[in-house]
């Protein structure tokens, strides 16, 4: 029974969230053949300021500060 968790930036409309879940179920079914009835998907939405992608925080480069 596949269990898929997705962490995304908040702000998608309900319609888009529903479509995203449907797409994830379809891709999972196509990839591994699981019955869609047993594929579980959870979306976790986070404010953009709580997400770092590719070392970027709020779109800005992360810069290490020199140790004193």
| Segment 3-57, tens digit of pLDDT | 999 999 999 999 999 999 999 999 999 999 999 999 999 999 999 888 888 887 7
59 vs 37, 45, 65, CA distance in Å? 38, 18, 18
Tell me the domain boundaries of the chain.
1-41
Q: Does domain 1-41 have CATH number 3.30.429.10?
A: yes
State the pLDDT at residue 64.
56
Q: Is this structure's pTM higher than 0.85?
A: no
Q: How confident is the model at residue 65 (pLDDT cuts 50, 70, 90)?
A: very low
């Amino acid at each position: 029974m596949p269990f898929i968790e997705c962490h995304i930036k908040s702000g998608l409309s309900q319609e888009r969230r529903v479509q995203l879940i449907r797409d994830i179920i379809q891709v999972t079914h196509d990839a591994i053949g699981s019955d869609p009835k047993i594929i579980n998907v959870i979306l976790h939405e986070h404010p953009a300021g709580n997400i770092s992608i590719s070392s970027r925080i709020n779109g800005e480069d992360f810069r290490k500060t020199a140790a004193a």
